[in-house]
Amino acid sequence: MRTRLLATALLLGSAGCVSTEPSGIRIGDTTMEQIKAGKTPETWVLAILGEPSSSAVIEGEDDVHVLRYSMVQERTGLLSLFGSSTVTVSTVYFIIRKGVVESLWADRAETPGLFGGGEAPGEKRD
């Protein structure tokens, strides 16, 4: 009986969520508010945020490219032993035209673990 009680206490005690250290670049709300579409130069974005996680040239457009800044974080709990963890990927996109931020938006997606979760779309800001 004592062994069962101890096992139950250990099991319940380890039921909390554990988050791994995020990897990538986190851009806070205050920083996002400083970046203005049509005004903020790309050089300012790079100076403040550093190199993007990835970038791509928009073919067929004159001097237009996308900067992507992503952060990945995994949360696990007791059921992680059975494959239950949630991975959240947050990405901020900047469309740069002729050296100036033309538009920007943030997107967040969660990959659910064994017992649910979902996807939360971001919002585009012009």
- Residue 123: inside a domain: no
Dihedral of the CA atoms 21, 25, 30, 31 (nearest 10)?
A: 160
Per the domain annotation, does 33 fall within a domain? yes
Please compute the mean of the pLDDT values over residues 60-71 and round it to a whole number.
Answer: 94
Q: Determine the structural domain holding residue 64 and report its residue range.
A: 15-117
Residue 20 lies in a domain: yes
Instruction: Check residues 45 and 13 and name the one with the higher pLDDT.
Output: 45
Query: Is residue 47 assigned to a domain?
Result: yes
**Residue 118 pLDDT > 70:** no
**Does 26 fall in a domain?**
yes
Per-residue pLDDT reduced to its tens digit, 42-53: 999 999 999 999
Residue 5 lies in a domain: no
39 inside domain: yes
The 3 state secondary structure assigned to the chain is CHHHHHHHHHHHHCCCCEECCCEECCCCHHHHHHCCCCCCEHHHHHHHHCCCCEEEECCCCCCEEEEEEEEEEEEECHHHHHCCEEEEEEEEEEEEECCEEEEEEEEEEEECECCECCCCCCEEEC
Q: Is residue 125 part of a domain?
A: no
The whole-model pTM stands at 0.67
Counted domains in the chain: 1
